[in-house]
Structure 1
């Protein structure tokens, strides 16, 4: 039973980041063909990808460009990530070959997700498409989780600093910062500079250039990251003392790092992103002060004293994050639930 997983790169790296993780986990059960419309973006997080090759095998997974969609027979199981529109020629061939079609939706903690999870939707080509929602509760599809993950023994291995173009930090603490452009980074720099311990900020390639005062330049070490491999990205999150992450892929991986973290959702009109953020926060075991801190980061109301207060009690914050990761591990992960659902539906189709 082959799975075709389609990824349309919209937000540069979040979409392909999720799909690459998912493809590798699904491939442990069924052969996977990963279709990607922007191989150049993929190559920036996976150095084995050749952006000029329309067909290639990486980590035993067949990676295909959308350009060849009309040349190959659709798989028995088709997963479209985040509601991407499948190629027209491929859609036309699906009724003869495909038993199950799923739309893997964006992650949300909002209550309506539980109501729509696994509902079918008839499509013009005659196949029903099922909506599969990741989530934080037992009534959703769960979260992508690293294989053999154990929250009691999260990795603290030294990252490969030199291969990432970095010098090994010599400061007391490390902050890994992958923000959206509107993030209140000036507040972060002010709080870190006032902290009694020294800090290195690992700043993602897409972040704005830091604007530091003379005092902050003396107190902080800033290292600018280039585009790094997904495995290196994960290693930095596991090693850092504070992670500030954006989007969906890095958000979920920050949860499993079990380190103090702030999540910034994608900016939306009418502050819809803040509603999404609040829905998630209410599902966490974080105390009200930590919840307010994370909310204020995205609502741009955070002040340096507020952040510094929590940085001075990192061990308490980290324990809350460890407890959260442990609680979420009680739920079957996304790949496991997807495989179970596909097996169930395909067995019924055969009967």
Structure 2
């Protein structure tokens, strides 16, 4: 019989949590023949990346996944064989009682946040708290051997490489989104939280000797873009030009379309967790806007990733890349950092592809979860 999986997602972080759990749920169904219920407390947020969702329904099927609305007042539901609490969300008390009442105890995991910190390896798959005999385990995605790896569908890299080698496929994709870059233009995607460092970066892009077409999917950074342009009511479809820089606002799109957008671009500025991982699979230079946390502990996570990511770069290229990422995340000098990065562009671009291939040597996250369940039973 198929293993039954319940994935609980409480939408609190600007679509990153639902983005990760939706990709995971579909992959478990398609590649591992699991029966998956995805419990989501905010269907309107889910609708942004899955427009087929009916936000009025408590239960519906989407791409083989049994999507359930996670109500404020929990309804009776049997527990699954595997229970995932995504990003440390709290399960409904009645569901926890249902787990404890099962004849065969389910595997209960906290799917934690992505981190490159060394301590993650030591905590991965360790037992956590118990509830009436039901043991919870830590499960950490990660970049190091000994972690749960990263979400990566079967054949993803082959699809990406074929797409990037097909200029006509890229042209058709961009044209379908209303994007018509001129030949020789640098294409950059920008998906980020609010950031005061944006204006200096746009200043230097607008005065650069190379033309740049900046693609900005709808999101929190739009306010900063709007202020720099000096316009009101920036919305999807708008295009503005300032010297060498063209700024175009794109609508929020399905995950598969966003992946291809990343594949088309020469440089990708991303945020959070889901888009961060997808930018790495794009094999192109990237800039990460990490989610800000109290007491700046997010900067420790940023440094941990940079130490790992830049290990194979030359000292000069490493210095340039680290300076850009730190400036973006600490309101530093983006103009100088960007100019310094351009001096090492070829090396940084080659490294982005080699890093992608290196990470693909690990088992993907869905496979690692299934293997843990099979070893656990």
Aligned counterpart in structure 2 of residue 250 of structure 1, from 275, 280, 284:
275
Instruction: Mark the CA change 1:169 to 1:305 in structure 2 (over 3 Å): closer, same or farther.
Output: same
TM superposition score normalised by structure 2:
0.86
Identify which range, 294-303 or 227-236, moves more after superposition. 294-303
Q: Quick one: structure 1 residues 38 and 163, their matched pair in 2 at CA, closer, same or farther if it must change by over 3 Å?
A: farther
Q: Distance in 2 between matches of 1:122 and 1:225?
A: 44
In the alignment, structure 1 segments of 5+ residues that lack a partner are 347-351
1:114 corresponds, among 117, 121, 136, to 121
The answer to whether the 8 Å contact 1:101/1:129 transfers is: yes
Conserved in 1, the CA contact under 8 Å of 2:6 and 2:38?
yes
Which of 213, 218, 221 is the equivalent residue of 1:205? 218
Long gaps (5+) in structure 2? 231-239
Aligned pair in 2 of structure 1 residues 48, 312: CA closer, same or farther (>3 Å)? farther
The more displaced of 228-237 and 69-78 is 69-78
Q: Secondary structure at the match of 2:163?
A: coil
Task: Quote the RMSD (CA, aligned, Å).
Answer: 2.2
Contact map agreement 1:33 1:62 (CA 8 A) in 2: yes
Deviation at 1:317, TM superposition (A): 1.8
Of 104, 110, 126, the residue aligned with 2:111 is 104
Q: Secondary structure at the match of 1:5?
A: strand
Q: Deviations over 1:107-150 (max 9, x none)?
A: 11112211211111232332000100111111111111232133
Structure 1 window deviating more from structure 2 (331-340 vs 115-124): it is: 115-124
- SS of residue paired to 1:282: helix
Structure 2 residue 340 is matched with structure 1 residue 315: no
After the TM superposition, which residues 1-351 of structure 1 pair with which residues of structure 2 at under 5 Å, given as runs? 1-27=3-29, 28-29=31-32, 30-67=34-71, 69-97=74-102, 98-150=105-157, 153=161, 155-156=163-164, 157-158=169-170, 160-161=173-174, 164=177, 166-170=178-182, 172-206=185-219, 207=221, 208=223, 209-210=225-226, 211-212=228-229, 217-284=242-309, 285-286=312-313, 287-311=318-342, 313-346=344-377
Distance in 2 between residues matched to 1:328 and 1:190, nearest whole Å: 34
List 4+ stretches of structure 1 deviating above 6 A.
Answer: none
CA deviations on 1:82-115 (whole Å, 9 max, x unpaired) are 1101112111111233421111000111122112
Q: Which stretch shifts more, 115-124 or 28-37? A: 115-124
Shift of 1:343: 1.0
Name 1:349's counterpart in structure 2.
none
Q: What is the CA distance between 1:183 and its match in structure 2?
A: 4.9
